[in-house]
Homo-oligomer: A and B are copies of this chain.
Amino acid sequence: MKINKNYLNLKDSYLFSLIGRKVREYKEQNPDKEVISLGIGDVTRPLVPAVVEALSKASFEMGNKETFRGYGEEQGYGFLRQAICGYYKKKGVDLTEQEVFISDGAKSDLGNILDIFETDNTVLIPDPVYPVYVDTNIMDGRKIIFMNGNEENNFLPMPDYKVEADIIYICSPNNPTGAVYGKEALKEWVNYALKRDAVILFDSAYESYIQDEKLPTSIYQIEGAKKCAIEFCSLSKTAGFTGTRCGYTVIPMELIRDGVPLNKLWLRRQTTKFNGVPYIIQRGAEAVFSDTGLGQIKENIAYYMENARIITDTLKKLGIWFVGGENSPYIWLKCPKNMLSWEFFDYLLTNAQVVGTPGAGFGNNGEGFFRLTAFGDREKVITAMERIKNLML
């Protein structure tokens, strides 16, 4: 019996454990100081009332013989897939129910989608980025190349036709940088993918944070994208579902490679290795897309975006370079005085008792940068920004 040796090539990520250890040690040595975390990538506002009501109602349905539900379709209930088609319709994107797959979250699908691709494809991944794109491909032994995000391109790297990539990851709004591609830039990526018969894996987990109506909230708003892109989205950040677990993946019927619709391959994968999302959770997700639900989640998003505005206002006052924060809950700043990521981490923790995430943890190009998030409490965000202003003005 041989294990998958590719796993031995994975690097352990010490990012969040190291942050935890440093904060713990600081608190032990400074028990009187209040430490504020703006490093967290998790929501803090509870589920909205429309969702809680739907979850509770569905729970009781499951206890009643007449309304009990056993196995559902692996790809999700029609009621939820239709609600998602309706959500896309408002974005100007026409989808059929068969093109939408319900999942337990974007992370699962972004990892599992690789099952349907040969391991000898070359993968193009932004640097810096969400670490699981890299790790899931290392597990399969795929060749990984990087596209460089940096200050010059505002962390929005563009295609280079000399680069021979088969699978391209794009995350917009980006985690960790908060940078968002415009329509023209995405169109260039679609053209590149179409030219190479490549496939774009488009992670739109943060689309609901886009405020600027000119920015695309789905890659399918770009002509030609249905022939080259799979879109992954999640209710985690849209509706506070990080602990409730529901997402969706869109594979348009027009997306065909080697003569086979990828939709059909993914359907086969999911019906064989997945049994669908809990009925109760799908009812909660359906409520997100109701008029009441959409109104309620909009308030939560507005709350987080006001936090982001407070953070970016502070950075502007301090003359610190940053991207993100305007159409994203993430703010990506350049460490002042040319500090390295971890230097700035220690500096902020020690002098302002504020915790963020060192950019170096998201890839080589993240060195010298730092991520703040807007998911905290308003009062704490205000206090943290006052401390930073006092320290650095």
Which residues of A line the B interface, CB within 8 A? 1-5, 7-8, 10, 42-49, 51-52, 55-56, 59-60, 62-65, 68-72, 104-105, 107-108, 111-112, 115-118, 120-121, 132, 135-136, 139, 166-167, 196-199, 240, 242-245, 257-258, 260, 262, 265, 268-269, 272-281, 284
Contact A46–B59 (Cβ < 8 Å): no
Given contacts A2-B117, A245-B275, whether A46 and B71 have CB atoms under 8 Å apart is: no
Docked Cα-Cα span, A46 to B65, in Å, equals: 5
Docked Cα-Cα span, A111 to B112, in Å, equals: 11
A100 to chain B, nearest CB (A): 19
Q: Which residue of B lies closest to A55 (CB)?
A: B59
Contact A245–B1 (Cβ < 8 Å): no
Chain B residues with Cβ under 8 A from A62's Cβ?
Answer: 46-47, 52, 55, 243-244
Q: Which residue of B lies closest to A196 (CB)?
A: B1
Q: Which residue of B lies closest to A245 (CB)?
A: B278
Given contacts A62-B52, A116-B7, whether A244 and B280 have CB atoms under 8 Å apart is: yes
Q: Which of A8, A46, A112 gathers most chain B CB within 10 Å?
A: A46
Contact B8–A260 (Cβ < 8 Å): yes
Contact A3–B260 (Cβ < 8 Å): yes
A3 to chain B, nearest CB (A): 5
Contact A269–B139 (Cβ < 8 Å): yes
* Pairs across A and B, CB under 8 Å, 25 listed: A1-B166, A2-B117, A3-B116, A3-B262, A4-B116, A5-B118, A44-B68, A47-B63, A49-B63, A51-B63, A52-B62, A55-B55, A59-B280, A70-B240, A72-B243, A104-B275, A107-B274, A111-B272, A111-B274, A115-B139, A132-B273, A139-B272, A278-B278, A278-B281, A280-B280
A184 to chain B, nearest CB (A): 24
Given contacts A4-B115, A275-B108, whether A69 and B243 have CB atoms under 8 Å apart is: yes
A102 to chain B, nearest CB (A): 12
Q: Which of A10, A65, A115 gathers most chain B CB within 10 Å?
A: A115
Out of B116, B117, B136, name the residue touching A272 (CB < 8 Å): B136
Contact A108–B278 (Cβ < 8 Å): no
A104 to chain B, nearest CB (A): 6
Q: Which residue of B lies closest to A264 (CB)?
A: B7
Contact B108–A273 (Cβ < 8 Å): yes
Contact A60–B70 (Cβ < 8 Å): no
A56 to chain B, nearest CB (A): 4
Contact B72–A46 (Cβ < 8 Å): no
Contact B258–A2 (Cβ < 8 Å): yes
A263 to chain B, nearest CB (A): 12
Given contacts A107-B274, A260-B3, A278-B281, whether A63 and B70 have CB atoms under 8 Å apart is: no
Q: Which residue of B lies closest to A43 (CB)?
A: B70
Docked Cα-Cα span, A56 to B51, in Å, equals: 12
Q: Which residue of B lies closest to A278 (CB)?
A: B245
Contact B42–A63 (Cβ < 8 Å): no
